[in-house]
Chain A
Amino acid sequence: MIDRSELVSSESSAAPRARAGQAALELERVSRRSPGFYQRAWRIFRRNRVSMVALGVVILIIAFVLGADLVSEYITGYDYRRGELGEQFKPPFTDGHILGTDANGRDVLTRLAYGGRVSLLIAGLASLTIVVVGGGVGAVAGFFGGPVDAVAMRLVDVLLSIPSLPLLILFASLYRPGPVGLAFILAAVGWTGVARLVRGEVLSLRERDFVDAARVLGASNARIITRHIFPNVIPIIVVWVSLAIPGFILTEAALSFLGLGVKVPTPSWGNMLQGARDYYTRSWTNVFIPGFMIYITVLAISLVGKGLRDALDPRLNE
């Protein structure tokens, strides 16, 4: 890759550099003629002001939860595990507790950062897993068709016929998983959507000329799937995942809220809500704050997802 910005800026400097500047302009012109797919997508995305703001919010939230140790060390000065029983239900902005304290006298802002880390990591891990499993099953089913396809799609039908929350409750209450296990359980129930999507896309892609061309050149099935079909499926997977992550965050929160997800003392936004629920008459901020974080995160990620869909879905760009 040539760093174009540097070449372009050199154009304005002294005369001997003029030729280099000319070359740079030429390069700029040539490359502008056919911007890459993702470059064009980024241009479309950038124009969408709502999605850009949402992206900023998402980045802030991620920084906040990944920097939980820093928040605890420098901003609040409290440990997320330790509470003072005499300090219960402090309202926000008292005694250095920026967002107050919970039923065990623990600092809410600190727990919010650590809890968010758990919630977001679970959603991220679950998304990664459904991409691998769902994408893999969908690609194989769509590419090979026949009995493989039939078996895989019947399995998808079965899983789609069970409302997912009951199934998750069943899994979670029988297996009592930790955070990582919870991510895999979410993925185990949620991979069917991706599988169906990828299968449909692969079904239409495998009939295209470039696949025939690759086959004529002697490419193996594995090579065709990974090198020719997979890159074409990435955009829809990206869009789907960005729209699925909010769902995972919500479901994890719901399960933790029911006491089936992340177990105390590990904080998560869902179990912070659960803890606050019994004492809602004592402190409304404890109920409001974790739910609000879930809400803002889910909203911001879905708005980014919508921007991505507009930018990456070729059917809308025509």
Chain B
Amino acid sequence: MIAFIIRRVLVMVPILFGITFLTFAIVNLVPGSPVDSLKLNPRTRPEDIERIKRNLGLDRPWHERYFVWLSGAVRGDFGISLSNNTPVLDRLLGVLPNTLLLTGAALVTALLISVPLGVLSAVKHNTAFDHAVTVLATAIASIPSFWLALLLILLFATQFPAWGLPGLPVNGMRDLRGDSGLFDRLEHMVLPVASLALVQIAGWTRFIRSSMLETIRQDFVRTAYAKGLPRRIVLYVHAFRNALLPLVTLVGLAIPELFGGAYLIEQIFAWNGAGRLTFQAAQSNDYPLIMGATLMFAVLTMVGNLLADILYAVLDPRIRYD
């Protein structure tokens, strides 16, 4: 197991090199540079622009700059953000908790809803309830998350107040005027988390349903029935635990999806997260910030997948990595 983890971490190293190299190439091979916006001001002299370029190291060829960046990154120095002169690492670490809060809450919400729904749907196989869940899950799985977010805003932020009901906030993470207690923060989370979670709920419910259906056909379930255990125990203790195993992998795979979704949702709800920051960085040609953010998302994704694999082995003694 230890050997497996070490090997997996070692495999991550060249992949990370690949990612940084690729991103650096993409960012630097496009026409346009961070100093372009300075040229818009007719009073800026060309020699000043040259000087700024030299100071930023932009006058050197990009492969040379890649190694400069890489040698810094290896030592934990990801450079200075071009847009506001703050270290990239500080900017990223400043917004990362917000993104983790959003995606984490969506993940937990999705699990809390989809697991019971999926299991119940399988237990009540071929009943009206099962059919309703299956149809709903199929219908919801195709909803674009950003459209859903807009519809939720329409309903809860404009229609509810119009009907005299309390509306939900749609901007930012907390009320900037008030003292913003826990309730206020929770209130701000409802709509973004719901937009992010709903599509996952649909997918996972279907998955858990089929996993549970497969499990209750297995021999150990029949054995459990045969030795006289009540149906409730067999289903919700014996079968349930085994049906949940594949979910670990699925959750691991969903992590990049959640981060991707967070990009859009953060943008719509003005949530001060890493996705929104990366979006701004891409818009303003902020090379160091783009590099740092891409690397961070890649590391988070890989660590998520690794954790899923390890957890799977811990939970399922049949799995041995060696």
Q: Which of B23, B147, B297 contacts A294 (CB 8 A)?
A: B147
B30 near A169: Cβ-Cβ < 8 Å: no
Bound complex: CA of A167 vs CA of B283, how far in Å? 13
Question: Does A246 sit within 8 A of B, measured CB to CB?
Answer: yes
Bound complex: CA of A288 vs CA of B301, how far in Å? 33
Min CB gap B70→A, angstroms = 15
Bound complex: CA of A295 vs CA of B18, how far in Å? 36
B264 near A166: Cβ-Cβ < 8 Å: no
Min CB gap B10→A, angstroms = 13
CB contacts (< 8 Å) of A166 on chain B: these are: 259-260, 263, 275, 278, 293-294, 297
A166-B294, A257-B264, A287-B154 known; A154 vs B18 contact (CB < 8 Å):
yes
A280 near B150: Cβ-Cβ < 8 Å: yes
New contact pairs (12) apart from A173-B283, A246-B142, A294-B147, CB-CB < 8 Å: A161-B298, A163-B259, A165-B259, A165-B260, A166-B294, A174-B30, A174-B282, A258-B267, A280-B150, A280-B154, A291-B151, A294-B144
Q: Which of B151-171 contact A (CB under 8 A)?
A: 151, 153-154, 158
Bound complex: CA of A165 vs CA of B279, how far in Å? 10
CB contacts (< 8 Å) of A171 on chain B: these are: 26
* Smallest CB gap from A284: residue in B: B154
B283 near A273: Cβ-Cβ < 8 Å: no
Interface code A249-279, partner B: CB below 8 Å = 1, 0 otherwise?
Answer: 0100110011000000000000001000100
Question: Does B27 sit within 8 A of A, measured CB to CB?
Answer: yes
Question: Does B22 sit within 8 A of A, measured CB to CB?
Answer: yes
A154-B15, A158-B22 known; A299 vs B139 contact (CB < 8 Å):
yes
Q: Which of B23, B260, B275 contacts A170 (CB 8 A)?
A: B23
* Smallest CB gap from A175: residue in B: B30
Interface of A is mostly: helix
Could you list some 28 contacts between A and B, CB below 8 A? A155-B18, A158-B15, A158-B22, A161-B298, A162-B19, A163-B257, A165-B261, A166-B293, A169-B263, A169-B278, A169-B279, A171-B26, A175-B30, A250-B144, A253-B144, A257-B146, A258-B279, A273-B150, A277-B150, A277-B268, A280-B158, A281-B158, A284-B154, A287-B150, A294-B144, A295-B147, A298-B144, A303-B138
Question: Does A157 sit within 8 A of B, measured CB to CB?
Answer: yes
The interface size of chain B toward A, counting residues with CB under 8 Å, comes to: 45
The interface size of chain A toward B, counting residues with CB under 8 Å, comes to: 39
CB contacts (< 8 Å) of B19 on chain A: these are: 158, 161-162
Bound complex: CA of A162 vs CA of B256, how far in Å? 8
Question: Does A110 sit within 8 A of B, measured CB to CB?
Answer: no
Bound complex: CA of A174 vs CA of B28, how far in Å? 9
Bound complex: CA of A163 vs CA of B300, how far in Å? 10
B264 near A299: Cβ-Cβ < 8 Å: no
Min CB gap B107→A, angstroms = 15
Number of inter-chain CB pairs below 8 Å: 117
B151 near A287: Cβ-Cβ < 8 Å: yes
Question: Does B302 sit within 8 A of A, measured CB to CB?
Answer: yes
Question: Does B143 sit within 8 A of A, measured CB to CB?
Answer: yes
A163-B260, A258-B264, A294-B144 known; A170 vs B26 contact (CB < 8 Å):
yes
B150 near A163: Cβ-Cβ < 8 Å: no
Question: Does B290 sit within 8 A of A, measured CB to CB?
Answer: yes
CB contacts (< 8 Å) of B211 on chain A: these are: none
Question: Does B228 sit within 8 A of A, measured CB to CB?
Answer: no
Bound complex: CA of A249 vs CA of B26, how far in Å? 24
* Smallest CB gap from A249: residue in B: B144
CB contacts (< 8 Å) of A163 on chain B: these are: 256-257, 259-260, 297-298, 301
Among B147, B275, B285, residue most surrounded by chain A Cβ atoms (within 10 Å): B147
CB contacts (< 8 Å) of B18 on chain A: these are: 154-155, 157-158
Question: Does B32 sit within 8 A of A, measured CB to CB?
Answer: yes
Min CB gap B288→A, angstroms = 14
Min CB gap B82→A, angstroms = 14
Q: Which of B100-149 contact A (CB under 8 A)?
A: 138-139, 141-144, 146-147
Interface code A67-87, partner B: CB below 8 Å = 1, 0 otherwise?
Answer: 000000000000000000000
Bound complex: CA of A273 vs CA of B23, how far in Å? 30
Interface code A169-181, partner B: CB below 8 Å = 1, 0 otherwise?
Answer: 1110111000000
Q: Which of B144, B278, B285, B293 contacts A295 (CB 8 A)?
A: B144
Question: Does B317 sit within 8 A of A, measured CB to CB?
Answer: no
Bound complex: CA of A171 vs CA of B29, how far in Å? 11
Question: Does B14 sit within 8 A of A, measured CB to CB?
Answer: yes
Question: Does A192 sit within 8 A of B, measured CB to CB?
Answer: no
* Smallest CB gap from A159: residue in B: B22
Question: Does A226 sit within 8 A of B, measured CB to CB?
Answer: no
A288 near B151: Cβ-Cβ < 8 Å: yes
* Smallest CB gap from A163: residue in B: B256
* Smallest CB gap from B259: residue in A: A163
Min CB gap A280→B, angstroms = 6
* Smallest CB gap from B143: residue in A: A295
Among A157, A161, A288, residue most surrounded by chain B Cβ atoms (within 10 Å): A161
Q: Which of A217-261 contact B (CB under 8 A)?
A: 246, 250, 253-254, 257-258
Question: Does A302 sit within 8 A of B, measured CB to CB?
Answer: yes
Bound complex: CA of A283 vs CA of B147, how far in Å? 15
CB contacts (< 8 Å) of A31 on chain B: these are: none
* Smallest CB gap from A167: residue in B: B294
Interface code B249-281, partner A: CB below 8 Å = 1, 0 otherwise?
Answer: 000000011011101100110000001001100
